[in-house]
Amino acid sequence: MRQYFYSITFAALLAVAVLSGCGDRPGNYGNFAEVDSVELVRDALAAMQANYPPAKTRIALIQDTSDAFGSPLVESMREAGYAVAEYAGPAKGDKYIAIVEKPDGLAFAYVLDRIGPDELRVSLHIGTETLSRMYRVRMSGDAPQFIPQGFWTHKQGG
């Protein structure tokens, strides 16, 4: 009986540990893959344009975008016609900024992360929705090539 109790307890703790990594963790945004690619920026912008019309969409940045992906992405968004409100940092005492529609536009953040040694994922968090796409990274000489692995996924709602 005691062994059964320990097995159930261990299984429950393991399930909690595994599932805790499944939810969105506000505030963990950025270029964790440390890549810069005009190719990825163009692809991300095209996905945005297909889902959010530039002249009708206001964007409010909720993260610092000074990395090698963020700066060209924000510049490209502005050139495409998006109104982009700068990131002002979290309000005093706020630990995280929620992904919601803000008065100055849809909250916007991105994550570039490595899934494996030769795979990465781009996720764009826009309002309460997320656009994501996987890429295979292949070296071509000194420059990496980013090969899309399927279509953009579109997760709606919070």
Exposed/middle/buried for 6, CB within 10 Å: 0-12, 13-18, 19+? exposed
pTM of structure: 0.75
Helix (H) or strand (E) holding 30: strand 30-31
The per-residue pLDDT string of the chain (158 residues; one tens digit each, 9 = 90 and over) reads 555 544 554 444 434 333 334 443 346 898 888 887 899 999 999 999 999 999 999 999 999 999 999 999 999 999 999 999 988 776 655 554 444 445 678 999 999 999 998 999 999 999 999 999 999 999 888 888 899 999 999 999 86
Q: What is the DSSP letter of 53?
A: -
Q: What would the two tokens of residue 87 be? A: 């990131």
- The confidence score (pLDDT) of residue 24 equals 39
